[in-house]
Structures are given as C-alpha cells and as structure tokens.
C-alpha cells in the first residue's frame, strides 16, 4: 500500500495510476503534474491545499490539479483511501463543461455534493486500480473512458449554472502537440512562479513566439500567462501566511511579487482582504506550523 515519500523530487510524475494509500501527516507539500482524485470510504483528511485548509470526507469524490501545493495535515478514522492520478495533458483533451475544467485548472478543489455514490464509486476504483496495475492496454483504455464519464457526471452535479451546457472549445481547436505545449507552459509556471516571468521566457521554453504562446495558453486555460503566474504566487503567499510567522514583506518577495504594493493590491483583488487580515481570519498559525513540521 502506497504512502507519501517526503524524499520524492518536486514534480516527479505519478502518471496514470489508481492505488490505495495509507494516510499520513505529510512533513511537506507535494506537487505533481496530474489531476488527482481522492475517494475515502471512511473518516476524513485535512489538507492544506495551496493556502487554504480543506477537509475531505468519506463518500465524496474529490478532484484537484496536483500542481497546486497540497499537504495532508491530519486525518481521522481513515484506514486507507484511493488516490487516482491522470496526466494533465489527457485531462485537457477531454470535453468537459467549461466551468468545471476552468475551476480545476485554476486551483479549485471540486467535491461531490453528496455521499450517495460511495458503493458504486468504490467498485469503480477497485476496477480501475486493477486495470491500471495489471490490465491490458484495452482495459486501461476502457478505464479512462469510464473515468472521463465519471468526471463528466461530477461536472453536472457541481455545475454553478445548471443551464450552462457549453463544452470547452479548446480541445476541438487544438491538436495534441499544442495541448502538450500548453501543459508544458502550465508546468513551467508552476515550477518557476517565484522568479520573474515574462511571456518571452515562457514561450521560449516551448519554442513558440510569445504572442502565439499567449494565445495558445489562453485558449486552453482561459486566462493569460501572467495572470496564471499571479494565481500561483497568491496561493504560495496564502500558504506562507498560514504556516509561518514571516513578515508580510518577506512573504511578498519570496512568493515572486516585485513589490509589496503589487502584492497587497493583487491579494485584495483576489480575496477581498489584506494579507494581514487574511492571516488573522484564518486562525492559529502556530498550530498549523506544528502540524507541517
């Protein structure tokens, strides 16, 4: 049974996998370039997801992009749980409703609203685990079709506007090579957002003209390269506000912002409060710090 390895390199891939994990309080956060699904049959996990605490409970399928720093702080009454990972490039090619895809790609954790599918989901995860580890190529392909269908059902049950049946247009316009390039740009940003970034630098990484790189990325992720980098910087700052006693200025610069004023402005626009107010509202920093050591 798998458990988190704190020595694994940052962004080391899991690929397509479906295994049972032993819960453990993680001494540091993990990041990898897959979409991750969690399913608990009992108990709960407390995550620090980006810069927000999140409790995952039994029976509710939970989905997030694992390029967001995620760390289990605590758990209760969990013997083991399923972890399923899908490469981001595969997820980008599946025709999900736009709202669902964009929420995940922008760092939101999507959770099943009820527990009514636990028995069915458990059976599915058991089958997918067998197919991923021991099955033939045909069985793995069938599993992926079933996983896509399950995520599309999740998208319907969590839709913000249930009358919105629009599908992502990016997949129909982009070939596999361009989807791969968009995925590589997202990974590059996730790995380097604490450094100064420009469209030229990011485009150079995937051998594209910056203007085309920006267009391709916006078609796929629904935002600009720089705004996406800012989202990562803000999540990084949220985490530091919760888990350290560093000064606001130090957090701003270590998160990749060029000035304290720019950090304060971006933070207030995103969360409706100042970094100092956020730290105060979110509770005891020292308790969280102790759990992450």
| Residue range 118-149, pLDDT digits in tens | 999 999 999 999 999 888 889 999 999 999 99
Helical packing angle, 225-243 and 210-221, nearest 10°: 60
CA distances, 97 to each of 8, 94, 140, 217, 254 (Å): 34, 10, 24, 18, 35
The torsion region of residue 135 among left (phi > 0), alpha (psi -120 to 50) and beta comes to: beta
Query: Is there a contact between 4 and 72 (Cβ–Cβ < 8 Å)?
Result: yes
The stretch 234-246 carries a mean pLDDT of 90
List CB contacts of 247: < 8 A, sequence separation 6 or more.
Answer: none
Query: Are the beta carbons of 14 and 85 closer than 8 angstroms?
Result: yes
Q: Give the mean pLDDT of 260-273.
A: 94
The mean pLDDT value of the chain amounts to 89
* Structure tokens, 180: 């791969």
∠ at Cα 176 (37, 172), nearest 5°? Answer: 85
Q: Write out pLDDT tens, residues 197-210.
A: 999 999 999 999 99
| pTM higher than 0.75 | yes
Q: Are 179 and 89 in contact (CB under 8 A)?
A: yes
Domains of the chain: 17-157 (2.60.120.280), 170-293 (1.10.10.60)
Helix (H, G, I), strand (E, B) or coil at 60: coil
Average pLDDT over residues 208-218: 94
CA distance 185 to 213: 8
């Amino acid at each position: 049974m798998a458990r988190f390895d704190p020595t694994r390199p940052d962004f080391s891939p899991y690929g397509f996998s479906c295994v049972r994990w032993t819960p453990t309080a993680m001494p540091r956060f993990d990041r990898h370039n897959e979409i991750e699904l969690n399913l608990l049959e009992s108990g709960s996990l407390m995550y620090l997801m980006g810069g927000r605490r999140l409790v995952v409970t039994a029976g509710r399928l939970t989905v997030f992009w694992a390029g967001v720093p995620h760390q289990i702080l605590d758990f209760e009454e969990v013997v083991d749980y399923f972890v399923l990972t899908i490469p981001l490039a595969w997820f980008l090619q599946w025709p999900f409703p736009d709202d669902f895809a964009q929420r995940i790609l922008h760092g939101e954790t999507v959770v099943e609203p009820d527990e009514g599918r636990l028995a069915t989901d458990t059976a599915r995860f058991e089958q997918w685990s067998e197919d991923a580890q021991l099955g033939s190529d045909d069985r793995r392909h069938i599993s992926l079709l079933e996983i896509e269908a399950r995520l599309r059902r999740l998208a319907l049950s969590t839709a913000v506007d249930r009358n919105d049946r629009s599908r992502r247009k990016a997949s129909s316009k982009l070939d596999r090579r361009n989807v791969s390039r968009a995925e590589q740009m997202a990974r590059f940003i996730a790995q380097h957002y604490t450094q100064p970034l420009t469209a030229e630098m990011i485009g150079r990484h995937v051998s594209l003209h910056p203007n085309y790189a920006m267009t391709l990325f916006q078609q796929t992720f629904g935002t600009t390269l720089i705004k996406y980098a800012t989202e990562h910087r803000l999540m990084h700052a949220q985490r530091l506000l919760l888990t350290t006693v560093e000064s606001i200025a130090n957090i701003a610069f270590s998160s990749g912002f060029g000035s304290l004023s720019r950090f304060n402005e971006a933070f207030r626009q995103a969360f409706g409060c100042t970094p100092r107010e956020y730290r105060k509202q979110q509770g005891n920093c020292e308790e969280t710090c102790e759990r992450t050591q």
